[in-house]
Structure 1
């Protein structure tokens, strides 16, 4: 054989081998091939845009629009039941062949009972002009959960198929129509109106903002209540009217007015959706509805009749305020009966402006104020057109609460007249009654009450010495070395270190380094009188760690019972010669004065 012929044969052999390898790589493995044979329609139908069902009892044509919604084109023009279409497509792709049969193996009468002759139902799913799947369904078989199906109308082979398709094909065409009267997303709705007869309500909101009532009055709306009404309308299931449309009562004295509802969205290109509800023809009767973006008439549940009873006050915000705790940056309280309280936020902490300087504010009290305003309910809506504020004591409010959020300040006024406490927002005309105990419960008038309750704030590593003297007893002096966390104790000039309860000393150290009072005293005169004869004195020497040249600071705490000579529930206290006095509990007093030397 010539060398040229040998090389040519080698090249052809190599090419054939490469082709065989590539071809086999593209062929499904045995397990995959068997799975495909069992699941003939395991294809991606998420981009399908048309469905055609042709049968003796059901004939439908559905198309999907660019927005993703399915619509019926036959037997009627209407929006389709989206959930049912999704279930249908999922059932089709999950269809499984249980057994393969042959037409030639059956008698003519037996094959007729499969329903795969003329009465069979043809299902075709397409994406554009491409046919994604097609199947012919016959009758239900004696085997539970299965029916007869084939891939061609006159195919020799047919199958015993297991799927959830058959029950869906048994549904009437009306079930394929959308059972939701309106198909909108709650978060997209920015305008909502509801009118019945002469009464009309309008609600609007900006993106990520709460609802507001804009008609018939301008007022804050209840986000929860408005959203609940919208959810009820959006989720309400309806059915097409069959036969004669029910008519309202003939007696005009008994008839309710027509109710009209409109939904407006901020979605580009989406028009407002208008819905009309006829009054119920009788108590407990279903309600006839028509919607602007769909043809036909529908029956809505009878419980919709409750919507005729809705009044503006039902959907108004029943809470006194809506202060966003994470965004409020400043709070101010003022009134003729007490000093001005100014609070500003610095990061996560609130600061109190007092005597020309800033000091830590009472964080817990501010939290109670915010929660108190946000959870307090309006007792009654007194008027929405207040012209004479004297009637409500709001011409000279006894308290004004202001808060700033994102640079915008809101003012809430409180007035008292005729044994009732009323409130109104400065920029609104509505007046509402509130619980008379609420303002004093969450907004104490004394400025010192807004001061932070941390009396001493130091690191335990800054404490060098603690002296505790109770009454006439000898003072106990405790020297602390933060470098090795050791103690040296002296009592009446003697070294009692060996007898010292070191665990108790460590507890005392932590209590005094971060010493918190229960509250500040409003009646300082009584505190000063009681503290003229202190029953317990605690002195703490503090030197900043790592600063050997810094001058140590002495902090002296004195305590006395609120009733002289008694073990009282609360004790007065004072730090150094500061003008403010504070209160501590009996339990804390006893912990500070406990015996530390065994």
Structure 2
């Protein structure tokens, strides 16, 4: 900062282009910003009224002082303390609620008898919402929620903590601490708000689309969890049926079928089937999944008496590299790689 004495610059003409008030304890004080310095085009003349002197400051000071209140707002959609997050409730009017619950380091689907959830997908959702920034603040005081479809949100997501018993700080049960409501879509954006905040923001439309409202789509990707040597009988059905059973010394023999058994191929199939993972979940089963007329059905037992049975049904192609599939102990349809089995 270069300081010019008032006496040394008494003939210098300072044209005041802008002024800003700096509020002190007793009264406002004015900083006047004048013209660009003749000697240094990156500097501007300024005058701080109480000191009665002219200075030069970097020219970018004008941009800094032109900052509007809205420029200082945190435009993150939501910020939460994930350490106290125990429940995520996804609510779509008319379709019921999906409740995801933390269980140690993993997540379950509480609304589906605490079935294991895809914990990685839940964590990605949390991170995505934490990192999402509003495109713009639409209204500071949302007096007309109907205008934005937020009087009756099409989707609400609620964060809650949970305590199994009363403590000195909290009561037992679920304690919601933040709710995001999504309303009407407009172009590439969807209107949203935190229900305990007065303002409405516009966020990218894809954010709401990636929040699955079908509980089956939150299931873990692991379909079967066995060891290959636990499989005792295997039945393969296409346009015909073949059935093999494990005998003494782990030797396989035909129950239905003839010819030499390729032990290497059987073992490869057992390895894949016993630890089968989905690529992703599609959700509720639909006719186009082709499961009513499957391409292949694999049934197997995991007990020597063949009373504990499991079934994998493979239907229509999902795309060039995957198939639609269903397991009898799981809800909905998932996708597996075409190389499986």
Instruction: After TM superposition, list the pairs within 5 Å mapping 1:176-325 onto structure 2.
Output: 239=1, 241=3, 243-244=5-6, 255-260=17-22, 278-283=31-36, 284-286=42-44, 300-325=57-82
1:347 corresponds to 2:104: yes
Q: Provide the C-alpha distance between the structure 2 equivalents of 1:279 and 1:480, rounded to a whole number of angstroms.
A: 95
Distance 1:461 1:533, change over 3 A: closer
Q: RCO higher in 1 or 2 (8 Å CA, sep ≥ 6)?
A: 2
**TM-score normalised by length of structure 2:** 0.75
Question: Deviation of residue 500 (structure 1)?
Answer: 1.8
- Counterpart residue number, 2:251: 488
Rg: which structure is higher?
Answer: 1
Asked if the contact 2:91–2:97 (Cα under 8 Å) also holds between the matched residues in 1, the reply is yes
Contact 1:454–1:517 (8 Å) recurs in 2: yes
Aligned residue for 1:257, secondary structure, equals: strand
Which of the numbers 168, 179, 189 marks the counterpart of 1:411?
179
Summarize deviations over 1:445-486 as a string: whole Å, max 9, x none.
22221222322223x1662325141413452526389xxxx7
CA contact (8 A) 2:185 2:205 kept: no
Q: Within 2, Cα distance between the matches of 1:410 and 1:398?
A: 17
- Find the aligned partners of 1:540 and 1:369 in 2 and give their Cα distance: 35
CA RMSD of aligned residues (A): 3.9
CA-CA distance at 1:373 after TM superposition: 1.6
Residue ranges of structure 1 left out of the alignment (5+ in a row): 1-238, 263-271, 291-295, 593-598
Give the Cα separation in 2 of the matches to 1:338 and 1:241.
69
1:390 aligns with 2:142: no
User: What SS does structure 2 have at the residue aligned with 1:456?
Assistant: coil
> 3-state SS of the aligned residue for 1:344?
strand
The 1:366/1:258 distance shift into structure 2, 3 A limit, reads: same
More strand by share: 2
Give matches, 1:8-23, under 5 Å. Answer: none
Are positions 1:572 and 2:324 aligned together?
Answer: yes
Extract unaligned runs of 5+ from structure 2.
37-41, 163-174
- In structure 1, the residue corresponding to 2:114 is in which secondary structure? strand
Give the match for residue 427 of structure 1: 196
> SS of the residue aligned with 2:71?
helix
Secondary structure at the counterpart of residue 273 of structure 2: helix
Which residue matches 1:464? 231
Partners of 1:475 and 1:286 lie apart in 2 by 88
Residue 339 of structure 1, CA deviation: 2.0
Corresponding residue number in structure 2 for 1:524: 285
Assess, with a 3 A threshold, how the Cα gap between structure 1 residues 494 and 368 changes in structure 2: closer, same or farther: same
1:305–1:587 Cα change, 3 Å: same
SS in 2 for 1:400: strand
What does residue 125 of structure 2 align with?
A: 369
Contact 2:17 2:35 in 1 (8 A): no
Q: CA 1:575–1:258 in 2, change beyond 3 Å: closer, same or farther?
A: closer
Hey, what does 1:587 align to over in structure 2?
338
CA distance in 2, matches of 1:532, 1:282: 79
Is the CA contact (8 Å cut-off) linking 2:322 and 2:336 kept in structure 1? Answer: yes
Cα distance 1:417–1:584, how it changes in 2: closer, same or farther (>3 A)? closer
Q: Relative to 1, partners in 2 of residues 1:418 and 1:551: Cα closer, same or farther, differing over 3 Å?
A: closer
Q: Which residue of 2 aligns with 1:225?
A: none
Any conservation in 2 of the 1:382–1:430 contact (CA below 8 Å)? yes
- Change beyond 3 A, Cα 1:280–1:487: farther
CA distance in 1, matches of 2:13, 2:333: 73
Out of 190, 203, 206, the residue aligned to residue 437 of structure 1 is 206
Q: 2:315 aligns with which of 560, 572, 585?
A: 560
Task: State the match for 1:538 in structure 2.
Answer: 298
Structure 1 residue 321, shift from structure 2 partner: 2.4
User: Taking structure 1 as reference, are residues 527 and 540 closer, same or farther at Cα in structure 2, changes over 3 Å only?
Assistant: farther
